[in-house]
């Protein structure tokens, strides 16, 4: 049996939740495949994984996988994930979010989860728009682009997801794309292995909304755009500012060690218990 067929039957709720609701050509399926392969490479059992999401196209992912899953409310995936991790530290907790879900209503949760360095893996699928609800501008919509709520161009500067994660204190920060699918598997695997708060920003595409509004062509054209605009992090340091203009880096952007919130919390809990009369 080929690996792809084996993984479908091992990890997906293939007899219950399909066909899926993602648009033909969407990059979300590539992310789902990368996540499943990363977990498979780690050798984790399905019961060791808790996959949490908020609301949006990307947040439908827990519906399709046979893990412990939680489909929550908009912007609150990390709050639910925090509760799960503190209640059961043995679980590998993964929060899957879109750029609007994570960086708008969920933005405050994101920076404080990074500051606390809680042992959660955050996967943020960044397609620069609210795809499910009609193509409105999100916090990562590029300056000068067009959306349903910015028909005369977006005049707000976008958040830089990975850079914000680094500045907020995440232990591990990486950026990948759905075009570089094999590399993405490795980045997700490293993120899950890394103790502390780990973030993988995943550049993906919404050809139905963002691509349409900005005349970027089909999903294939947008995948080619990812290929031509991505620069490996190990190469970026040797390039000039001019060469990096309008480009973005991919790969591991930060990998450092800080005290881990859930471990420090357990120390406090034990101290408080011992202090009881």
Domain that holds residue 95: 3-274
Average pLDDT of adjacent 10-residue blocks, the chain of 277 residues: 70 82 93 95 94 92 93 93 95 95 92 96 95 88 94 95 97 98 97 98 95 95 96 89 90 97 92 87
Characterize the bridge pairing of strands 172-177 and 248-255: antiparallel
d(CA 174, CA 176): 7
Which residue, among 176, 173, 177, 178, has the nearest Cα to 162 in the 3D structure?
Answer: 173
The confidence score (pLDDT) of residue 9 equals: 80
**What's the domain count of the chain?**
1
Q: State in Å, rounded, how far the first CA of the chain is from the last one.
A: 61
Q: pLDDT of 196-220, one tens digit each?
A: 999 999 999 999 999 999 999 999 9
CATH of the domain at 248: 3.40.50.970
- Is omega for the bond preceding 178 within 30 degrees of 0, making it cis? no
Give the model's pLDDT for residue 46. 93
Contact 13, 52 (CB under 8 A): no
CA distance 176 to 179: 8
* DSSP at 174: E
H-type alpha helices, 117-180? 161-168
The alpha carbon of 20 is separated from its chain's Cα centroid by a whole number of angstroms, namely 19
Residues sharing a CB contact under 8 Å with residue 267, sequence separation 6 or more, in sequence order: none
Provide the pairing of β-strand 68-71 with 49-53.
parallel
């Amino acid at each position: 049996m080929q690996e792809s067929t084996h993984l479908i039957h091992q990890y997906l709720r293939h007899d219950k939740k399909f066909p899926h609701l993602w648009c033909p050509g969407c990059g979300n399926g590539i992310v789902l495949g990368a996540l499943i392969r990363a977990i498979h490479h780690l050798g984790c059992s399905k019961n060791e994984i808790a996959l949490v999401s908020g609301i949006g196209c990307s947040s439908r992912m827990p519906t399709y996988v046979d893990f412990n899953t939680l489909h929550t409310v908009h912007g609150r995936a990390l709050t639910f994930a925090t509760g799960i991790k503190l209640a059961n530290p043995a679980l590998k907790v993964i929060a899957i979010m879109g750029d609007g879900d994570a960086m708008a209503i969920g933005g405050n949760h994101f920076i404080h989860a990074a500051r606390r360095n809680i042992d959660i893996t955050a996967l943020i699928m960044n397609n620069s728009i609210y795809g499910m609800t009609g193509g409105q501008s999100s916090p990562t919509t590029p300056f000068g682009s067009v959306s349903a709520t910015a028909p005369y161009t977006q005049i707000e500067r976008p958040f830089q997801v990975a850079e914000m994660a680094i500045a907020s204190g995440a232990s591990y920060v990486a950026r990948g794309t759905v075009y570089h699918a094999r590399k993405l598997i490795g980045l997700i695997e490293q993120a899950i292995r890394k103790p502390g708060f780990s973030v993988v920003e995943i550049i993906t595409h919404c050809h139905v909304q963002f691509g349409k509004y900005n005349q970027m062509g089909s999903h294939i054209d947008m995948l080619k755009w990812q290929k031509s605009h991505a620069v490996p992090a190990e190469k970026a340091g040797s390039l000039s500012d001019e060469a990096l203009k309008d480009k973005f880096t991919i790969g591991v952007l930060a990998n450092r060690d800080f005290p881990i919130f859930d471990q420090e919390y357990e120390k406090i809990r034990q101290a408080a218990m011992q202090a009881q009369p």
